[in-house]
Structure 1
Amino acid sequence: MWLTDGMSSGPLTTLPARVEPETERVPETGEPAMAHIVKTEPGESAASKVLEARIYGTPLEALCGHVWIPSRDPKQLPLCEACKDIYDTYRAFNDGLNERPNE
């Protein structure tokens, strides 16, 4: 038997679920996962530097200063705006740089 205070409540209304876009997050920081542009020395290949970092688990530094160990396909992630802005600034002062860095 249920006891009540004599007041009946009307039908319960539920609020619609708030749907937020699914954003992959970095577990350590909670920041959204992004593709970064790797800092390289003249003549150094960014692709080979990333491959080596994946194999050996060594951290890389991005143009924006973010340090990480690559583990995801960067083509599946949005490009870091800070890295893009820095790269665009380099392009403005250096002839011969592509619209986007080489893979």
Structure 2
Amino acid sequence: MTSSELTVGDLIDSLSARDRSAPVRLAMNPFFPMVHRIERVLESVDETGRAVVYLAEGRDADAQLGHLPTEVAVALTWQGPVRAPTRRARRRAGGN
């Protein structure tokens, strides 16, 4: 297991500090960040025989909820903070 992998214990510890009534969403694809609804939690084994837990997206058409909120993508470092472009003075009719 690589050090960047989240364990079930890590997930439980992190979730136990959160609002128990809050829905859980899955943020996917840092290059086109989307939000998905989690429907099931499954356990299996990998090719080495270790237990692995999967968070599965629902099969319904509305399981993909849309774009990931910008503040979440920034917190995940999937994108940098976006700043509005600076405003230029408007030109007037007649070239001024």
- For the pair shown, the structure with the greater C-alpha radius of gyration is 1
Q: TM-score, normalised by structure 2?
A: 0.24
Specify which structure has the higher proportion of helix: 1
Query: Which is richer in strand?
Result: 2
Q: Which has the higher contact order (CA 8 A, sep 6+)?
A: 1
TM-score of the two chains, using structure 1 as the length reference: 0.23
